Amino acid sequence: HLIHYFRLSHHLIVLNYLICTFDKLKSVSSEHINITDAVFDGVEVRVFEPPGKPDEMLKRSVVYIHGGGWALASARTSLYNNLCRIMAESLNAVVVSVEYRLVPEVCFPEQFHDALRATKHFLQPDVLAEYSVDPNRIAISGDSAGGNLAAAVCQQLSKDEHLTVRPKLQALIYPVLQAFDFNTPSYQQNMNMPVLPRYVMINYWIDYFNGNHDLAHSLLINNHTALDVGQALSYRGRLNWTSLLPSSFKKNYKPVVQPTGMAEIIQEIPALLDVRAVPLLAENETLQLQPKTYILTCENDVLRDDGVMYAKRLENAGVEVTLDHFDDCFHGCMIFTIWPTDFSAGIQTRNSYIKWLDENL
């Protein structure tokens, strides 16, 4: 932030440079998994392929979209490289990890477009045949901001009448799904929780939308969706956590709904209500089209209620949903399985996630 203050560079560029400098891996194949880098319709991807066997049927596959607030990390860092390699080995599946462009190089909707283009390219029958993938056994998945992109892409694919192949499953890991209410019980309960405090998540949203950081406090107190903001009125019922959350999550927290707010925020950042950015606000007709869904949530996470509410809305729309909640885990834990950050929470959540994919894909 000091570098940003002196206008030497954007703080996210500096942070990501440090992360990738110390953590980036080359594509190192092994006897168990072949790792290659490719380009799908202009989007870089890393592909993890188990070795084929002469008498083997077509393989299943997972399109994976990494997290990092749309601004950090990479499909090539050791944390995601390790996760996708283990997924490919455990599931005997082809895993395609999408290397979408990051903030601040590009902002919404470019990350969404990158993920959508790469996924649609992979879903082409000739491409699936090239990788020996069964077109009926494909999942789309992602964690955090990657879970946001996976959900948004899945919604878009479900409405594309020209597609001949669609995902069989979606699996969302502590996904960020809405910017409508920053005072859900989990946002209130975990507002100062390490890894992802509430103010950090709000800043990620502002950077994603290329917005003005002076608006951060107004967003925090929900001025952008006050009762007098007409643009938000039609969406309010789709994100009513008092009816969508079980009492064990609502606890004693109260809704924060401002009677008067700042309609100009939505005018300045209309993407706050764009379902390509906030999939939880999608209409019921779109939710009815979604495939069988897995959502992993953690108690110590501001985003817990995003996932729980999406699970409930999908369930209400008739979609088969598995909500896998962990009381003792935190945001981002699933990728922390390598020394020196090899946490039991990471192993626990990763094993549960892979087990569900193995049983359902």
User: 217-242, pLDDT tens digit by residue?
Assistant: 999 999 999 999 999 999 999 999 99
Catalytic residue among 143, 181, 207, 301: 301
Instruction: Return the pLDDT at 12.
Output: 62
Based on the residue annotation, tell me whether 41 is a catalytic residue of this protein: no
Instruction: Return the pLDDT at 98.
Output: 98
For 13-17, 111-115, 268-272, which range has the lowest pLDDT when averaged over its residues? 13-17
Catalytic residue among 66, 113, 224, 331: 331
Based on the residue annotation, tell me whether 144 is a catalytic residue of this protein: yes
Percent of the chain scoring above 70 in pLDDT: 90
Instruction: Return the pLDDT at 342.
Output: 77
For the chain, the straight-line distance linking the first and the last C-alpha, in angstroms and rounded, comes to: 43
Mean pLDDT, the chain, rounded, equals 92
C-beta separation of 291 from 299 below 8 A: no
Instruction: Return the pLDDT at 17.
Output: 57
Distance CA 118, CA 281 (A): 24
pLDDT tens for each residue of 278-303? 999 999 999 999 999 999 999 999 99
Burial class (CB in 10 A: 0-12, 13-18, 19+), 41: middle
Cα dihedral 128, 129, 134, 135 sign:
positive
Instruction: Return the pLDDT at 23.
Output: 59
Does the pLDDT value for residue 25 go beyond 70? Answer: no
Instruction: Return the pLDDT at 16.
Output: 52
What would the mean pLDDT of 336-353 be, rounded to a whole number? 86
Based on the residue annotation, tell me whether 331 is a catalytic residue of this protein: yes
pLDDT tens for each residue of 248-262? 999 999 999 999 999
Instruction: Return the pLDDT at 246.
Output: 97
Does the pLDDT value for residue 41 go beyond 80? Answer: yes
Please report, for the chain, the start and end positions of each structural domain, with discontinuous segments joined by +: 25-179+272-360
Catalytic residue among 141, 144, 158, 186: 144
What would the mean pLDDT of 146-173 be, rounded to a whole number? 97
- pTM (two decimals): 0.93
Q: Write down the H helix ranges in the chain.
A: 2-5, 11-23, 78-91, 110-122, 125-130, 145-158, 185-189, 198-208, 216-220, 230-233, 241-244, 247-250, 263-268, 284-287, 304-316, 344-360
Class of domain 25-179+272-360 (CATH, top level)? alpha beta
3-state helix, strand, coil in the chain (%, to 5): 45, 20, 35
C-beta separation of 62 from 361 below 8 A: yes
What would the mean pLDDT of 51-62 be, rounded to a whole number? 85
What would the mean pLDDT of 64-87 be, rounded to a whole number? 94
Distance CA 163, CA 33 (A): 30
C-beta separation of 256 from 180 below 8 A: no
